[in-house]
Chains A and B, each alone.
Chain A
Amino acid sequence: GAVVSQHPSRVICKSGTSVKIECRSLDFQATTMFWYRQFPKQSLMLMATSNEGSKATYEQGVEKDKFLINHASLTLSTLTVTSAHPEDSSFYICSALHGVTNNEQFFGPGTRLTVL
């Protein structure tokens, strides 16, 4: 089946630093990937849509200068949280769109970010 990985699975950083999260589709090519944020006991909220070779599309209220997205290849998208603050602490989940399987999104295992 289609597998999506995320790295790292957990990261703790100091306030003011930047953190990069990688999302990879391991056995298929994904022209489109998505980044979600999930607060404890809440649902997944779409942050942005990442398209290979073009700029990401951000949801309303998501700061594009704070959450930098780069989709440099058909198997890799990265999310960089710049100048992280404690309120950025959350669970970040990516998904990759598998065009062959009728537009199904395959989800990564998530990254837990804790900003001290």
Chain B
Amino acid sequence: AQTVTQSQPEMSVQEAETVTLSCTYDTSENNYYLFWYKQPPSRQMILVIRQEAYKQQNATENRFSVNFQKAAKSFSLKISDSQLGDTAMYFCAFMKPSNNDMRFGAGTRLTVKP
């Protein structure tokens, strides 16, 4: 079974600064997808970024980038130039393409301070 671990229950960052959220996972699969989702107070899940395990290049989406270390089974999210609107719960998720089961980490509550 796949497990996803987010070891930081809460984090805070000053507006305009950079913050990194950590995520590790455990799997015996070689092919899989990794995701970071944002859940603001509205509770709507919003995809932030995704990474295919077979791709060595780290995914980037504007201010969001990941550091994917496949051998270490680590998938951290870096948010640059943090904005107040980035305040939310962030969930790391793992998905096997064979059955599309998605497993989530416990989440990190990020607060961006003005």
Which of B33, B44, B91, B99 has a CB less than 8 Å from the CB of A44? Answer: B91
Inter-chain CA distance A20–B8, complex, in Å, is 36
Q: Do A43 and B105 have beta carbons less than 8 Å apart?
A: yes
Q: Which residues of B contact A34 (CB under 8 A)?
A: 100, 102
A65-73, A76-84, A97-105 - the one binding chain B: A97-105
B103 within 8 A of A: yes
**Contact pick for A43, options B33, B101, B104, CB 8 Å:** B104
Verify A104–B50 contact, CB threshold 8 A.
yes
What separation, in Å, do the CA atoms of A106 and B2 have in the docked complex? 21
Q: Which residue of B lies closest to A9 (CB)?
A: B43
Contact in complex: A43, B91 (CB < 8 Å): yes
Cross-chain contact A46 with B43 (CB below 8 angstroms): no
Q: Which of A43-102 contact B (CB under 8 A)?
A: 43-46, 49, 91, 93, 95, 97
Once A32-B100, A93-B45 are accepted as A-B contacts, the answer to whether A103 and B105 lie under 8 Å apart by CB is no
Q: Is the CB of B43 within 8 A of A91?
A: yes
B105 touches A104 (CB 8 A): no
Write out, one digit per residue, whether chain B residues 62-101 have a CB within 8 A of any chain A CB (1) or not (0): 0000000000000000000000000000010001010111
Q: Which residues of A contact B (CB under 8 A)?
A: 32, 34, 38, 42-46, 49, 91, 93, 95, 97, 103-105, 107, 109-110
Contact surface of B with A, Cβ cutoff 8 Å? 33, 42-45, 47, 50, 91, 95, 97, 99-107
- Could you write out 17 A-B pairs with CB less than 8 Å apart? A38-B43, A42-B106, A42-B107, A44-B91, A46-B101, A46-B102, A93-B43, A97-B100, A103-B95, A104-B47, A105-B95, A107-B44, A107-B45, A109-B42, A109-B43, A109-B44, A110-B44
